[in-house]
Amino acid sequence: MKMAPEILRRESALAQASFSPRMPSLLQRLYSARGVFNDADCDLSLSGLLPPQMKGLPEAVARLVTALNQQERILIVGDFDADGATSTALAMRVFAAFGARNVDFLVPNRFEYGYGLTPEIVEVAAQTAPELIVTVDNGISSIDGVALANARGIDVLVTDHHLPGRELPDACAIVNPNQPGCSFPSKALAGVGVMFYVLSALRAALSKSGWFEAQGIATPKLADYLDIVALGTVADVVPLDRNNRILVAQGIRRIRAGLASPGIYALLEAGRRDSSHLQAADLGFVVGPRLNAAGRLDDMSLGIRCLLENSPDQARALAGELDSLNRERREIEQGMQTEALRILDKLQLEDSALPLGISLFDETWHPGVVGLVASRIKERYHRPVIAFAPEDEHTLKGSGRSIAGVHIRDVLDLVSKRFPDTILKFGGHAMAAGLSVPRSKLELFEQAFADCIAETTQPDLFEARLVSDGELAHGELSETVARQLLEAGPWGQQFPEPRFDGEFLLLNQRIVGEKHLKLVVAPPDAPQHAIDAIAFNIDLNCWPNPGARRVRLFYGLDINRFRGNEQLQLMVESLQAGD
């Protein structure tokens, strides 16, 4: 566990708030610090969802209505991550519920075809003679792929959420809240969220036309599929604005109630999580990685089949395969991370002297795992990081992760403009991006990437800090408050889970599970109030510390459930011995 040099206190904005007395004072403080100022904004019922009013939506719905009326062959082309998998599964399930009889999906294998609707994947798609291709979580940059599909007489409907480039594909319709001219207020939808809105608008049009009655179909409820939407939204780490929080909260509610798809329960079971106490973090750190493992090491079709499976036993078998792939992924990632740290150690630089943008490459690295390595190195050094692996003899494929305040796709766009031959292609959003570069240009890219970040970013952004919601009084250190916070979410990207800091008496400390520190602490003003705490992956050179009598903690509240018993537990993310 790496110590952060400084803990900052998040500023509350209670002066702007107008909560009712029913709202607990702690939640008022937490919510107002996150831009939520009244009870109405805390209401996460479906009635609060933004209406389906996006640029391109009427054209998309009209084209899909035609496809259904004529029972055209529809091919869903997805992406090979969890957002792409959930988007694909959502489309497949809902189109079937709407009465479409000729729907299939195709996900490009990242090692053969790369990302998106490329000309190569259009050639594969054309073998099944679809009349309509619907992209999910990709397509906004697929200029050549859409052009080839048009030439083959195949219409393309693009649904995506990634930032567009200077040119848009010549699709029959584009639905993307981030495309120019789209006034949809929430730009933070994941790909699965965009597809949810397309299907919601399609359902309204079909219902109005009497389609469902004519087909003898009970009008489907789109809310029945929000478990899949919640999974993709959390796993893609998009900002949890109110609209996304509604989608996630409603999906979590369905999962807790036993109303989700068997595949999600099977993946939770593989990760040893109790679905009845599900939190958004479980989707992001337990289900998402197992789903993503298929796209990173093999073929995302396995993950999609798991989400589409209606038999619990079959879903459990598929989840077992995904779990095995995830264990293999972890082993590969650990080896790559060790090598990345060795490369940086060879530079013999202090952390503060490292480039503000770090680029790493090794000939042996796995192209499906470089994004995870970039993420781990970013967390360690608090710098934007791009990790590269070989794509072919002449090209390297990179995946980047960024820190708050550095929009990595915009940085790549600047590099591309200044050095046009340095990047072959790129795409992404603020916190993550993918790209391909010529091997011969790697050194030039490394320097340009670091320089562009240094020129456009304030230096203080690169000082790693922890942000706390302040101290808790000893009366707030309770199971009641912990449950209150767990239910006050969903928490996630740009709506961070509450974290607190404070000094405690250190009553007991011991190592569990080789490198985790189990603590018993108490507030200094209530030494009789003993509280369990745990810190994962601690520095064994520093802890246990027999001389420590007090400890300053940066922590969250949780409920530890073990053999039917429940008790408060502090989840420690940083600790420092006191006097």
The domain that holds 89 is classified in CATH as 3.90.1640.30
User: What distance separates the 2 farthest-apart alpha carbons in the chain?
Assistant: 77
Contact, 447 vs 418, CB < 8 A?
A: no
Which residues lie closer than 8 Å to 489 by C-beta, 6 or more apart?
A: 245, 249, 279, 280, 495, 497
Which residues lie closer than 8 Å to 357 by C-beta, 6 or more apart?
A: 383, 384, 385, 386, 411, 449, 450, 452, 453, 454
Pair (127, 80) in one structural domain: yes
Pair (359, 278) in one structural domain: no
Which residues lie closer than 8 Å to 570 by C-beta, 6 or more apart?
A: 477, 519, 521, 531, 532, 533, 534, 553, 555, 556, 557, 558
Beta strands 565-577; 531-535: pairing state = parallel
Cα separation, 339 vs 274, whole angstroms: 36
Cα separation, 331 vs 313, whole angstroms: 28
Res 115: pLDDT? 76
Pair (80, 210) in one structural domain: yes
Res 352: pLDDT? 66
Does 22 map to a domain? no
Which residues lie closer than 8 Å to 392 by C-beta, 6 or more apart?
A: none
Q: In the 8-state DSSP scheme, what is residue 14?
A: G
Does 276 map to a domain? yes
Domain residues for 429? 337-462
Cα separation, 361 vs 353, whole angstroms: 20
Does 476 map to a domain? yes
Pair (306, 357) in one structural domain: no
Pair (367, 478) in one structural domain: no
Pair (308, 342) in one structural domain: no
Does 79 map to a domain? yes
Overall domain count for the chain: 3
Contact, 137 vs 77, CB < 8 A?
A: no
Last residue of a domain, one of 294, 322, 350: 322
Nearest to 383 by CA among 400, 368, 398: 400
326-332's contacts with Cβ under 8 Å and 24+ in sequence apart are 326/289, 326/290, 326/293, 328/293, 328/297, 329/289, 329/293, 329/296, 329/297, 329/368, 329/369, 329/372, 332/297, 332/366, 332/369
Does 173 map to a domain? yes
Beta strands 103-106; 74-77: pairing state = parallel
Does 42 map to a domain? no
User: What's the average pLDDT block by block, 10 residues per block, for the chain (579 residues)?
Assistant: 68 92 96 96 96 97 98 95 96 98 89 81 95 97 96 98 92 98 97 98 98 96 98 95 98 97 98 95 96 89 96 98 95 95 82 86 94 93 95 94 92 94 88 93 96 91 90 95 96 96 96 93 95 94 92 96 89 90
- With vertex at residue 76, the alpha carbon angle to CA 73 and CA 77, rounded to the nearest 5 degrees, is 130
Last residue of a domain, one of 462, 495, 515: 462
Does 11 map to a domain? no
The domain that holds 454 is classified in CATH as 3.10.310.30
Pair (478, 445) in one structural domain: no
Q: In the 8-state DSSP scheme, what is residue 542?
A: T
Rg of the chain's alpha carbons, rounded to an integer? 25
Pair (414, 482) in one structural domain: no
Pair (570, 485) in one structural domain: yes
Cα 565 to its chain centre, rounded Å, is 32
Res 3: pLDDT? 44
Res 346: pLDDT? 84
Cα separation, 318 vs 106, whole angstroms: 18
Last residue of a domain, one of 322, 345, 371: 322
Strand partners, 132: 74, 155
Pair (371, 509) in one structural domain: no
CB atoms within 10 A of CB 576: 16
Pair (176, 308) in one structural domain: yes
Is the bond preceding residue 490 a cis peptide, omega within 30 degrees?
A: yes
**Rounded to whole angstroms, what are the CA distances from 225 to 97, 151, 259, 266?**
11, 35, 9, 16
Res 1: pLDDT? 42
The domain that holds 514 is classified in CATH as 2.40.50.460
Pair (364, 442) in one structural domain: yes
Cα separation, 239 vs 496, whole angstroms: 10
Res 389: pLDDT? 96
Does 43 map to a domain? no
Contact, 529 vs 477, CB < 8 A?
A: yes
